[in-house]
Amino acid sequence: MAALHQMSAQAVLRKPKNAKRASTDEAVSEVAAPPSAQAEPANAQAVRKGLTGVLYRFIEHPWFSHFILTVIIINATALGLETIPAVKGALGPALVVIDRCALWIFVVELALKLVVHRHRFFTNGWNVFDFVIVGLAFLPASGTSILRALRVLRVLRLISAIPSLRVVVQALVSAVPSMTTVIGLLMLFFYVFGVMATRLYAEAMPDKFGSLPQTFLTLFQLMIMDGWAEVIRGLMQLGHTTAALFFIIFVVISGFAVLNLFIGILVNAMDRAESLDHALHPEDYREEPADQLEALSAQIAELQANLNRLSAQNTALLARLEAQLESAPQPIPQAPHSEPPA
């Protein structure tokens, strides 16, 4: 009985481990990281020694990321306050100091990353993005130049600092090829319906369908459901009774069918981008200790429930076997065979 319980417990304890290993292998096989991401662990191992290792642990620490995120938000707030004349008149010098301090903090951050990662710094697209955004601040510009207004682009660093925003942008970028195909299909429908609408309704509504560009603008207005009732009812009042059917077919194809393809493409791209971002930036998705303890407690409770269930099954099985042995007919003892007397 004890041996049977021990074997059952070992089987239950092995199952979650194997299942976890299988799920991990499936996740790794589904997400194919680019070469730069695959080379990152080797780089991380290479920079863990000496001063470079200290800098690596410093810039990769969560508190450093939180500090940079706070500086970005403060800088964005200061840039917004500069657009309010009353606030700028009262706090103008302080806002300028905040802006310059934030800029040099960003410069120090990028310099540390360059020292740690060296040429691998430019293999990460988000590092290049941050480098360009910060570099625009050093272009020569006067107080009224448009280049000075480009300082607000530093707010876009929030995209690389916040994982959820980063996933959205990665999804949009990865969905561009598929969206290009859908846009081409939509333009094809626009051209066909535009030529037909121009020929059919140019005389009735020259301000809406007088030329092909005007027709394209009207069709776009109908596609986004802006003022479609006025256009269709106006044509029907002018004697074009089939206009409703014509534009309903156009709206169903363009507004419901084709545009919904964009949603499907973006949803798929979001799933892929989230899996890829988890693989490339696992440090941004670390579970808190409380969450880890809660997950471990749930696993222990599940294992205990499995052990109790197996123990009950084994007990019932043994009881059934004992009952069968007791109910089985006992063999009749035979008398010893004695030879007849001579």
CB atoms closer than 10 angstroms to residue 206:
11
pLDDT of 172-230, one tens digit each? 888 888 888 888 888 898 899 999 999 988 888 888 888 899 999 999 888 888 888 88
pLDDT band at 34 (very low <50, low <70, confident <90, very high): very low
pLDDT value of residue 286 = 59
Q: Residue 31: left (phi > 0), alpha (psi -120 to 50), or beta?
A: beta
The overall average pLDDT reported for the chain is 75
List pLDDT tens digits, range 128-150. 888 888 887 777 655 545 666 66
pLDDT score for 196: 92
Instruction: Specify the higher pLDDT residue, 136 or 37.
Output: 136
Q: Answer yes or no: are the C-beta atoms of 248 and 218 closer than 8 Å.
A: no
Lowest mean pLDDT among 65-74, 85-94, 105-114, 332-341: 332-341
- Domains in the chain: boundaries: 38-161, 176-283
Which residue intervals of the chain are DSSP H helices?
2-30, 35-38, 40-46, 50-59, 62-81, 85-117, 125-135, 146-149, 157-161, 163-174, 176-201, 206-209, 212-223, 228-237, 243-251, 259-280, 289-327
Nearest CA-CA partner of 289 in 62, 65, 59, 60: 62
Residue 41's pLDDT is 45
**Most confidently predicted of 25-29, 91-95, 164-168:** 91-95
Confidence of residue 255 (pLDDT cuts 50, 70, 90): confident
Does residue 314 contact residue 4 with C-beta atoms inside 8 Å?
yes
Pick 132 or 14 by higher pLDDT: 132
Q: What are phi and psi of 34, to 5 degrees?
A: -65, 165
What mean pLDDT is predicted for residues 30-57?
55
pTM of the model: 0.49
pLDDT band at 298 (very low <50, low <70, confident <90, very high): confident
Here the tokens at position 314 are 């084994």
Average pLDDT over residues 295-299: 80
280, burial (CB in 10 Å: exposed 0-12, middle 13-18, buried 19+): buried
For residue 31, pLDDT over 50 is answered with: no
- Can you tell me the distance from the alpha carbon of 23 to that of 341, in angstroms, rounded to the nearest whole number? 83
Q: Is 101 exposed, middle or buried (0-12, 13-18, 19+ CB in 10 A)?
A: middle
Q: pLDDT band for 276, please (50, 70, 90 cuts).
A: confident
Structure tokens at 303: 């294992």
Q: Which CATH superfamily is domain 38-161 in?
A: Voltage-gated potassium channels. Chain C (1.20.120.350)
Query: What is the C-alpha separation between 219 and 197, in angstroms, rounded?
Result: 9
Neighbouring residues of 13: CB distance < 8 A, sequence distance ≥ 6: 303
Under a CB-based contact definition with an 8 Å cutoff, are residues 110 and 131 in contact?
A: yes
Q: Check whether 2 has a pLDDT greater than 50.
A: no
Surface-to-core class of residue 226, CB atoms within 10 Å of its CB (0-12 exposed, 13-18 middle, 19+ buried): exposed
Number of neighbouring beta carbons within 10 Å of residue 314: 15
pLDDT of residue 192: 92
- Whether residue 44 has pLDDT greater than 80: no
Q: What percent of the chain clears pLDDT 70, i.e. is strictly above it?
A: 73
Which among 302, 225, 311 has a CA at the least distance from the CA of 9? 311
User: Hey, what CATH topology would domain 176-283 get?
Assistant: Helix Hairpins (1.10.287)
